[in-house]
Amino acid sequence: MSPRSLSRISLLFLVLALAAVLAFAACKDDEKKTGKLLIGSDIAYAPLEFYQTGTETPDGLDVDLAKAIAEALGVEVEFVNSGFDGIIPALNTEEFDAVMSAMTIDEERSQLVDFVPYLNVGVGIVVPAGNPNNIAGLDDLCGLTVAVQLGTVQEKQLKTLNDETCGDNDVKIVTFDTNPLAVEDVRTGGADANYSDFPVAFLDAQQSEGALEVVEPAPNPQPYGIAVRKSSTELKGVLTEALQAVKDSGKYDEILAAWDLESTALP
């Protein structure tokens, strides 16, 4: 039997497995008989997920990759907008099947949900043009006002910085429901810096018309993961295999290249 035939058989089993998983979910809740894979996402984090200007059409790298995974499985996918700070509780109360929202895998989150890793991303610091506070790295944020999105790993990292490094010169952490609001606080002079994932920070600086710039990312990037409920073991397996099929087809690399994020590919 040829490798191509084996690949087609594998995909057939994946489609049947996902159909069974979704059918089981529909049986548990009649309102979920949609025949779609529902993905929760905070759709305000370009270029990973955002709405096309003037529309309610989701776009971004996460959206394209989710569509490719769904296409490999022969199912439809629908994105459900959800605030990031409450997105894991919403997943665990079955408002959607999975989360794909530039979510960094960390120990705390891994106690609540399981993950399928799909990208490897560093962080970036957005500052006013000219970098007036000469910020070169995370430690330089001590004593400054930093705007971050609520519930992100960056918020946790700043709290750890205060506990372990800053001493009596703490970072003043200002949180916002969405990252664009945090970036706007820097632009209007409310905060000295914004701390977010590097692809987002880079785009924010690019689109600021010269008002902002981005400090180079920190080393040791961390993986993003598709989050699923601890009980969704079958769905996790299906998504893992489907992602691998997308990689094997070359579509994964195409999507990353389309968003100029080849550097975020998993090793």
- Regarding whether 136 and 74 lie in a shared domain, the answer is no
The mean per-residue pLDDT over the stretch 2-27 comes to: 44
- Regarding whether 108 and 70 lie in a shared domain, the answer is yes
- Mutual orientation of helices 3-28 and 61-73 as an angle, nearest 10°? 100
Tens-place pLDDT, residues 60-81: 999 999 999 999 999 999 999 9
Q: Are 70 and 54 in contact (CB under 8 A)?
A: no
CATH number of the domain enclosing 196:
3.40.190.10
Place of tokens 């996790």: 236
What does the mean pLDDT of the chain come to? 89
- Regarding whether 248 and 192 lie in a shared domain, the answer is no
Measuring CA to CA, which residue among 229, 260, 251 is closest to residue 69?
251
- Mutual orientation of helices 198-206 and 179-187 as an angle, nearest 10°? 50
Tens-place pLDDT, residues 211-238: 999 997 666 789 999 999 999 999 999 9
Band the pLDDT of 255: cuts 50, 70, 90.
very high
CA distance 45 to 200: 7
Q: What is the DSSP letter of 49?
A: B
The mean per-residue pLDDT over the stretch 94-122 comes to: 97
The pLDDT of residue 33 is above 80: no
- Regarding whether 242 and 135 lie in a shared domain, the answer is no
What is the reported pLDDT for 218? 61
| Pairing relationship of beta strands 76-81 and 36-41 according to DSSP bridges | parallel
What is the reported pLDDT for 107? 95
- Regarding whether 142 and 45 lie in a shared domain, the answer is no
The pLDDT of residue 29 is above 80: no
The pLDDT of residue 208 is above 50: yes
DSSP strands (E only) in the chain: 36-41, 50-51, 58-59, 76-81, 98-99, 113-121, 123-128, 145-149, 172-176, 193-197, 212-215, 222-229
Q: Are 142 and 134 in contact (CB under 8 A)?
A: no
3-state helix, strand, coil in the chain (%, to 5): 45, 25, 35
- Regarding whether 101 and 20 lie in a shared domain, the answer is yes
The pLDDT of residue 32 is above 60: no
Among 191, 215, 239, the domain boundary falls at 215
The pLDDT of residue 23 is above 60: no
pTM above 0.85, yes or no: no
What is the reported pLDDT for 36? 87
- Regarding whether 154 and 36 lie in a shared domain, the answer is no
Helices (H) and strands (E) in the chain, counts: 9, 12
What is the reported pLDDT for 217? 66
Of the ranges 121-135, 156-170, 209-223, which one carries the lowest mean pLDDT score?
209-223
The pLDDT of residue 13 is above 80: no
The mean per-residue pLDDT over the stretch 20-41 comes to: 56
- Regarding whether 196 and 99 lie in a shared domain, the answer is no
Tens-place pLDDT, residues 47-60: 999 999 999 999 99
Query: What is the sign, positive or negative, of the torsion defined by CA atoms of 58, 64, 65, 68?
Result: positive
- Regarding whether 7 and 89 lie in a shared domain, the answer is yes
For the chain, how many structural domains are there in total? 2
- Regarding whether 90 and 37 lie in a shared domain, the answer is yes
Q: Which domain holds residue 12?
A: 3-121+223-264
- Regarding whether 42 and 143 lie in a shared domain, the answer is no
The pLDDT of residue 28 is above 50: no
- Regarding whether 28 and 107 lie in a shared domain, the answer is yes
What is the reported pLDDT for 219? 61
The pLDDT of residue 9 is above 90: no
